Structure 1
Amino acid sequence: MPAEEATSPSEGVQVNGHLEKSSSISSEEELFDPMCDPENPIVVKFQDVSAAAYKIRNGIERTPCTKSVQLSALTGIDLHFKKEFLQQTGSFKERGARYTLMALTKEQQKIGVVAASAGNHALALSYHGNQLGIPVTVVMPIIAPLMKVNLCRQYGGNVIVKGADIGVSRSHALKIGKDTGMVYINGYDHPHILAGQGTMGLEIVEQVSDIDAVVIPIGGGGLIAGSALAIKSLYPSVKVIGVESERCAGFTESMKAGKVVTVGAQSTLADGLAVPTVGVNAFATARNYIDQMVTVGEEFIALAILRLVEMEKAVVEGAGATGLAAVLAGLLPELKGKRVVIPLCGGNIDTTVLGRCIERGLAADGRLCRFVVTVSDRPGGIAELCKLIAKLGVSLKDIFHERAWLTSDIFSVQTKCIVETRGHEHADELRRALEAQYQNVFWGPHSLMGP
């Protein structure tokens, strides 16, 4: 299927053989998704999830839900991971995408569907649309990872790159749907999407017995809405905990307000959770099933990614690791000794971002440290520092020294170091040794700015 890029307002794009002019989009024109009406939210029922489970049973991976021996020992919690990153396109989004496509009428399937997405929803629709013979058009913002754009095309999706953010992409997708008759599918709020995502909850309670709690990441709210509905309908005593990035806590604020509110979204490692306005159907469905909400910081998301790589041999994106991040951050002490399931929702992380996450995780774990120390500029001064570092079994990763901006002593040099240690205790041992031998030691995140 041809894929065209829309790069300017005057440029046309091909959508299933029809030329759509981008200039026809008016900022004043109201573009409305009738399936996601804030005034009349649709509350998904348990029978909807059951129907979805039956219809998609032969097209979706039944992912394993296994105990993590190492992380259970580390956290004191009987941890089980639902490994949704093992779906064909790397995320749970396939569940809702396939069910929504299968629920279309024959005429709708012939015309096709359109969606706006920066990643996983676009991948899921493209893949399953190709499997089912349904034309799929996805509008992706220019900030979408190139890897995901290319994969959508490989899966047979008609990709339009349009908009500086997902909001612009959504408006463009809605306009395409209006002009062509294609069904617009909201990736986290369409009722069939919610029902499809709920099939993960059904699998969890089938695979793990005597569950005390389930910790589920929240972006737009589709996954927790469907899954909490499924879990609580069968086992009301299971505690459902939602986790958001503290940089975009839309569901938390909406729960406090009792209605959907829009919040600011900052850049976050959990980019899949950065949804300023949660789904109205998702909120209406989930609000009565969620027992607790927590928000987690960036350093613990990075640490969770690192722990999963090292202990589970699992490569998981930031959004998918957020449930574990909440546990590692100590936000859920009441779960000690309990049996807990955490879905690892997705594994579509860019290699470069993975490298940054691992380094940030090492820093949060005290295994990557930096400091500035002033040493003698006489022969052997820096060598003495290196000997002290080596004597403690610390690995010197990088060293840089400068003289020009040190005004206190003409015969001293300011030395900046990045080192690798075994953890916080080892790092503290190094810090104490440095402070015992040198007068000016500046340790920690701001040390590279100098004293």
Structure 2
Amino acid sequence: MISLEGIVLAQEKMRGIVHETPLDYSKTLSDLSGNEVYLKLENLQKTGSFKVRGSYNKMMNLNQDELQNGVVAASAGNHAQGVAYSSKMLGIPCTIVMPKGAPIGKIQATKRYGAKVELYGSGVDEALVYAKKIQEETGAAFVHPFDDSYVIEGQGTIGLEILRQLPDIDAVICPVGGGGLIAGVAYAVKKMKPSIQVYGVEALACSSMSSSLKERKPVMVEAMPTMADGIAVKKPGDLTFQLVQEYVDDIFCVDEMEIARTMLMVLERNKLLVEGSGACALAALLYRKVPLKDKKVVTVLSGGNVDVSFISRIIERGMVEAGRYAYFSIVLMDKPGQLEKVLEIIAELQANVMQISLHHIGEHIFPGSAELKLTIETRDSDHIREVFQALNGKGYHVLNKISLHE
């Protein structure tokens, strides 16, 4: 099991190797949530995630005999980079098994740290099984992404930093996947100050920890696709489950809409790039899932490794879900002046046309007509409804609306 002494020792060992990340107060997020909100910026950590803390601490506690055949690990991306970076710092050969669907940016970043990357399985759980097979065949030391006492103690150093940076804190909210982060943070802060409330947040698409707590044992769950891929763990660890059961006050879930909107909000308002997993804790606070009011709250932004090609899609999805984008089509008479009339209606309502196309063949298109497809930028969901109502009022039937508020 872990100990507070072990967490303190881990902090000493990694001094100068990992960052003590900032604790940033946000007035905007405070006003929105009804609490005094501080962001623990682990998205600014070495390798872009908190994971480097646990992996480095684990490897620092392996002896030379254990390290002679290198290390092997499995991860969707952040643990992979943490292990690869730690291996590079310590001069240790490293093999990482990543799911076949892992983000390309995370795969490339892991390789750049000098690791050998093998792609296997559809998720972290399958990658873990294959990594253990490699361990048995090669004799390499296995660095578990969460269910290991040294890994948990490494993550627990975040709790010590938070308490030093904000001693009068009321609550901490952490993302939850396998449970290593929240187990370490909860243990550290509860041992130092038992009155602090600690809450975990999962993606609704893969709620393994909350399901396990209900069953009073670690259970495997079916997972749906989620942008919070870093915490999409189908079964929590045995050790992390025990610690969460004892030290965490409650676990909540957020859906994809709430994650996307929070990612966009943090990017737009706080100028911070945060991945889906990293946004979950804040999403739960902003969407009032966590029962906190007028409290001093720290939310851990656990990572910022967003694939470059995915950033535009995150922004677009977040804007759609915030009522800032709408996609729709209208069937017009195919004659001069019809397009101009539609655009005049949209312009009068001060919506911005982002994309436009005209089609003469399709399901709703009859001879003498054309289908106009539009993408518009709007202020909010009320503004979208106003545009649709104005178009319908002028006799234009709005079809194929893609707006999650309609």
* Alignment-derived partner of residue 359 in structure 1: 316
| Alpha carbons of structure 1 residues 426 and 443: separation in structure 2 relative to 1, 3 Å | farther
Structure 1 residue 378: deviation in Å? 4.0
Structure 1 residue 408: deviation in Å? 9.6
| Alpha carbons of structure 1 residues 363 and 330: separation in structure 2 relative to 1, 3 Å | farther
Superposition map of 1:425-436 within 5 A: 425-436=382-393
State the distance in 2 between where 1:388 and 1:189 align: 58
* Alignment-derived partner of residue 240 in structure 1: 198
Residue 69 (structure 2) pairs with residue 108 (structure 1): no
* Alignment-derived partner of residue 98 in structure 1: 56
C-alpha RMSD of matched pairs (Å): 2.2
Structure 1 residue 446: deviation in Å? 7.4
Residue 18 (structure 2) pairs with residue 60 (structure 1): yes
Superposition map of 1:299-378 within 5 A: 299-332=257-290, 334-378=291-335
| Alpha carbons of structure 1 residues 409 and 172: separation in structure 2 relative to 1, 3 Å | closer
State the distance in 1 between where 2:395 and 2:292 align: 44
* Alignment-derived partner of residue 390 in structure 1: 347
SS of alignment partner, residue 347 of structure 1: coil
| Residue identity matched to 2:251 | M
* Alignment-derived partner of residue 179 in structure 1: 137
Deviations 1:224-273 (A, max 9, x none): 01101111112222221111111100011011111101001121100111
| Residue identity matched to 1:102 | M
Would you say the 8 A contact 2:19–2:45 is kept in 1? yes
Deviations 1:272-314 (A, max 9, x none): 1111111111111111222122111111111111111111111
SS of alignment partner, residue 319 of structure 2: helix
State the distance in 2 between where 1:372 and 1:308 align: 31
State the distance in 1 between where 2:379 and 2:4 align: 49
Deviations 1:382-425 (A, max 9, x none): 21110010111110112334455577986654433221012233
Would you say the 8 A contact 2:37–2:297 is kept in 1? yes
SS of alignment partner, residue 62 of structure 1: coil
| Alpha carbons of structure 1 residues 270 and 408: separation in structure 2 relative to 1, 3 Å | closer
Structure 1 residue 176: deviation in Å? 2.5
State the distance in 2 between where 1:281 and 1:389 align: 57
State the distance in 2 between where 1:372 and 1:146 align: 34
State the distance in 2 between where 1:163 and 1:141 align: 5
Q: Which of 1 and 2 has greater Rg?
A: 1
Q: What TM-score does the superposition give when structure 1 sets the normalisation length?
A: 0.84
| Residue identity matched to 2:60 | M
State the distance in 2 between where 1:180 and 1:149 align: 22
Identical residues among aligned pairs (%): 39
State the distance in 2 between where 1:225 and 1:416 align: 50
Would you say the 8 A contact 1:366–1:423 is kept in 2? yes
Deviations 1:194-243 (A, max 9, x none): 11111111111111232222111111111001101111112222221111
* Alignment-derived partner of residue 21 in structure 1: none
Residue 380 (structure 2) pairs with residue 380 (structure 1): no
| Residue identity matched to 1:227 | V
| Alpha carbons of structure 1 residues 168 and 260: separation in structure 2 relative to 1, 3 Å | closer
Residue 35 (structure 2) pairs with residue 77 (structure 1): yes
| Partner of residue 417 from structure 1, selected from 364, 374, 383 | 374
Superposition map of 1:400-411 within 5 A: 400-402=357-359, 404=361
SS of alignment partner, residue 205 of structure 2: coil
State the distance in 2 between where 1:247 and 1:101 align: 32
| Alpha carbons of structure 1 residues 141 and 440: separation in structure 2 relative to 1, 3 Å | closer
Deviations 1:181-202 (A, max 9, x none): 3211111111111111111111
Residue 227 (structure 2) pairs with residue 227 (structure 1): no
Structure 1 residue 75: deviation in Å? 3.1
State the distance in 2 between where 1:285 and 1:416 align: 53
| Alpha carbons of structure 1 residues 396 and 407: separation in structure 2 relative to 1, 3 Å | closer
Deviations 1:1-27 (A, max 9, x none): xxxxxxxxxxxxxxxxxxxxxxxxxxx
State the distance in 1 between where 2:299 and 2:227 align: 18
Would you say the 8 A contact 2:125–2:233 is kept in 1? no
Would you say the 8 A contact 2:323–2:403 is kept in 1? no
State the distance in 1 between where 2:131 and 2:364 align: 60
Would you say the 8 A contact 1:374–1:438 is kept in 2? no
Unaligned residue ranges in structure 2 (runs of 5+): none
SS of alignment partner, residue 343 of structure 2: helix
SS of alignment partner, residue 46 of structure 2: coil
| Residue identity matched to 2:346 | I
State the distance in 2 between where 1:152 and 1:281 align: 27
State the distance in 2 between where 1:252 and 1:426 align: 38
Residue 85 (structure 2) pairs with residue 122 (structure 1): no
State the distance in 1 between where 2:385 and 2:119 align: 49
* Alignment-derived partner of residue 20 in structure 1: none
Aligned length: 404
Would you say the 8 A contact 1:406–1:413 is kept in 2? no
Would you say the 8 A contact 1:65–1:204 is kept in 2? yes
State the distance in 1 between where 2:45 and 2:34 align: 29
State the distance in 2 between where 1:134 and 1:398 align: 51
Would you say the 8 A contact 2:331–2:365 is kept in 1? no
| Partner of residue 280 from structure 1, selected from 234, 238, 244 | 238
Structure 1 residue 375: deviation in Å? 4.1
| Residue identity matched to 1:336 | K
| Partner of residue 292 from structure 1, selected from 250, 260, 272 | 250
SS of alignment partner, residue 285 of structure 1: helix
State the distance in 2 between where 1:293 and 1:209 align: 24
Q: Which moved more, 1:288-297 or 1:241-250?
A: 288-297
